[in-house]
Amino acid sequence: MPTIQDIPRAPGGNPLFGHAGPLVRDPLAFVSSLAGQGRLVRMDMGIKNVVVVCDPALIRQVLLDDRTFDKGGPLFERGREALGNGLITCPHRDHRRLRRLSQPAFHPNRMAGYGAVMTELADDMASGWRDGQVLDVVSEMMGLTVEATVQTLFSDSLSRATASQITDDFLVLMTGFYRRMITPPLLNRLPSRGNRDYTRAIERLRNTVGGIVAARRADESDHGDLLSALCGATGPDGSHGRSETELIDEVLTFLLAGTETTAATLSWAMHLLSQNRGVERQVHREVEAVRSGGRLDFARLGELETTGNVIKETLRLYPAVWMLTRVTSAETNLDGYVLPAGTIVAFSPYAIHRRPDLYERAESFDPDRWHDATMVQDSYLPFSAGARKCMGDRFALNQATLALGTVVSRWRLSPVTDQPLRPSVKASLTPRRLRLRVSARSERLPMRDSALGSAEEGE
C-alpha cells in the first residue's frame, strides 16, 4: 500500500529549509496552488513532512475523526507555549471535559449581555470619529475587540494601560506564532530580539491574567461575565471544574480567540464594503430599519440578514485562521496512503473557500450567495468542523454583525488609495496597512436611549 513518501511533493522546496521559502514569500498563493498537485500533497516545514489535504471530503474525514487526527502540529505547539492547555490547543484526551466546562459561558441566556457590550462599545468608538477622518482600521478594530473581550470576560474594563499592553502582547504572539511555526526549532531558541520579545509577552500575559483569576476565585459572586461562567463550572460529580492554571489557560484562549480574529474579520468587512458601494447601501438600509433610531438591539439580530451575510462572505474570502494542522495519533489510512503515527496533516480554509469548482465566482465578494446557506456546507470551514469546531462561532458572528452594523449606521466608508490591499499573513489573516476615510451620514436619526438593549433583559 502506498506510504507518505509516495504522496506527490510540492514544488519549490529546499533541502535545508523545506518549503519555508514559499511559505514566507507568498503563503496564500503557495497553499492555493497545491490542489493542482493532487488531493494530498507533501510539503516540508523545516525537517518535518507535512501532508496537505486539498480535497473537502478528505478534510471533513480528518475533522470528524478527532481521536485519530488530534490537535497538533507547529501552530498548536506554538499556541501551547503561550496559551497552555486551553480549549483550542488541548489534545483529544482533555477536550471533552474542557468543552463541557466551557459550555455555560456560551449559554444563549448570556448572549444578549455580550451583544449589548459590543454594541455599546462599537457605538462609543464610532461616535468618536470625525467626518473625513482617515482611520487605521486594524488598530481601531483591535482596540474595539480587546475592550469588548475584556468586558465580556471580566465585566469591568481594565485600565487603558493594561488593555493596551494586552493588545501589544497579542500582536507579538500572533506574529511569532507563524514565524516560529515555519522555521526550524533551533532558530526559535536563539537569543534574538524577536524570541526575547515573544517570551516576555507570554510572561506578562500569564502574570496579568493570573492576578485577575486569583481575585475572581476569591469572590464567588456571579458577575454575569465569561469569567464567572468559567469559574462556576463544575464537573459531573459537582467537583471544582478547573484548576487555577487551567483557568488562566482558558482565559488566555478566549482573549486570543476574541480579539485578533474578530478584529481581522471586521477590518476585511469594512474594506470590502468600501469597495462595493451597492452592498454598503443595502447594509445601511437594513440597519436603519432594525435600529429604529437607537442602538442595535441583540433581540433583533436575526433581522440583520444582509449584514450577517457580509460577515459570512468576509470569512469565506478571508478566514481568520487560514491554515490548520492535526497530528495522527496512530497509523491510519487517508485516501489510500498509510500515514504513520505522528504525521502532521494540514489544510487551508483559505484555499478551499476560493476554489472555482466549489464556489461560483469564487474570487468575487457576493454576500447574496448566503441566501442558500446549505449550498456549500461541506466546504465552508471558517470555524473548522466536527467536535473541535470553535464553540464560540455564534459569539463571534454576533459580535461582528453588531459591530459592523453600528459602524455603517454612522459612516460611509471610502478607500484612500487605489493600490491593491495585501494581507499580512501571520497565524491569522489581517489586512496590511488598511486606511479608510469615514464620511458622516447626514440622514442619521437621533439616538434614543430607550432603544438600548440591556444585559439584564437577556438573562
pLDDT digits (tens, 9 = 90+) for 270-298: 999 999 999 999 999 999 999 988 899 99
Max alpha carbon distance in the chain (Å)? 70
pLDDT at 76 exceeding the cut of 90: no
pLDDT at 452 exceeding the cut of 60: no
Burial 329-342, CB ≥16 within 10 A → b, else e: beebebbebebeee
Distance CA 329, CA 340 (A): 9
Average the pLDDT over each of 135-144, 302-311, 358-367, 449-458 and give the range with the smallest value: 449-458
Q: How confident is the model at residue 443 (pLDDT cuts 50, 70, 90)?
A: low
The pLDDT assigned to 179 comes to 73
Distance CA 289, CA 62 (A): 43
Distance CA 354, CA 358 (A): 8
The pLDDT assigned to 335 comes to 97
pLDDT at 261 exceeding the cut of 80: yes
The pLDDT assigned to 108 comes to 85
Element (H, E) at 361: none
The pLDDT assigned to 126 comes to 96
DSSP secondary structure code for residue 444 in this structure: P
pLDDT at 221 exceeding the cut of 80: no
Assess contact for 417 and 96: CB atoms under 8 A.
no
Residues 6+ apart with CB under 8 A from 251: 153, 209, 212, 213, 227, 230
Distance CA 93, CA 329 (A): 11
What range does the domain containing 115 cover? 4-458
pLDDT at 190 exceeding the cut of 90: no
The burial of 179, by beta-carbon neighbours within 10 Å (0-12 exposed, 13-18 middle, 19 or more buried), is given as: middle
CA distances from 366 to 39, 313, 377, 380 (A): 27, 7, 16, 15
**Mean pLDDT, to the nearest integer, of 195-214?**
86
The count of structural domains within the chain is: 1
pLDDT digits (tens, 9 = 90+) for 346-363: 999 999 999 999 999 999
Residues 6+ apart with CB under 8 A from 385: 60, 63, 64
The pLDDT assigned to 242 comes to 79
Q: How confident is the model at residue 446 (pLDDT cuts 50, 70, 90)?
A: very low
Higher pLDDT, 376 or 59: 59
The pLDDT assigned to 239 comes to 57
The burial of 57, by beta-carbon neighbours within 10 Å (0-12 exposed, 13-18 middle, 19 or more buried), is given as: exposed
CA distances from 416 to 132, 170, 271, 277, 421 (A): 11, 28, 11, 15, 11
Distance CA 309, CA 319 (A): 14
The pLDDT assigned to 238 comes to 56
Distance CA 438, CA 435 (A): 10
Q: How confident is the model at residue 74 (pLDDT cuts 50, 70, 90)?
A: confident
Element (H, E) at 323: none
Distance CA 428, CA 319 (A): 8
The pLDDT assigned to 458 comes to 32
CATH of the domain at 261: 1.10.630.10
Residues 6+ apart with CB under 8 A from 277: none
The pLDDT assigned to 275 comes to 97
Label the pairing between strands 344-347 and 48-53: parallel
pLDDT digits (tens, 9 = 90+) for 105-160: 888 888 898 899 999 999 999 999 999 999 999 999 988 998 888 888 877 656 77
* Local structure of 48: helix, strand or coil: strand
**Mean pLDDT, to the nearest integer, of 302-325?**
95
The pLDDT assigned to 178 comes to 66
Average the pLDDT over each of 53-67, 84-98, 180-194 and give the range with the smallest value: 180-194
Backbone φ and ψ of 450, nearest 5°: -65, -15
**Mean pLDDT, to the nearest integer, of 66-94?**
87
Backbone φ and ψ of 60, nearest 5°: -65, -35
pLDDT at 317 exceeding the cut of 50: yes
Q: Which of 202, 247, 253 is nearest to 88 (CA)?
A: 253
**Mean pLDDT, to the nearest integer, of 178-190?**
72
Provide the percentage of residues in the chain whose pLDDT is more than 70: 90
Q: How confident is the model at residue 318 (pLDDT cuts 50, 70, 90)?
A: very high
Alpha helices in 183-317 (DSSP H): 185-188, 193-218, 226-232, 244-275, 277-291, 305-317
Rounded to the nearest integer, the mean pLDDT of the chain is 86
The pLDDT assigned to 376 comes to 66
pLDDT digits (tens, 9 = 90+) for 358-414: 999 999 999 999 987 665 678 999 999 999 998 889 999 999 999 999 999 999 999
The pLDDT assigned to 447 comes to 42
The pLDDT assigned to 50 comes to 94
**Mean pLDDT, to the nearest integer, of 22-35?**
92
* Half-sphere CA count of 428, side-chain side, radius 13 A: 26
Residue found by looking up cell 504572539 in the block: 173
Assess contact for 346 and 45: CB atoms under 8 A.
no
CA distances from 353 to 114, 251, 314, 364 (A): 29, 30, 11, 11
C-alpha cell of 22?
514559499
pLDDT at 316 exceeding the cut of 50: yes
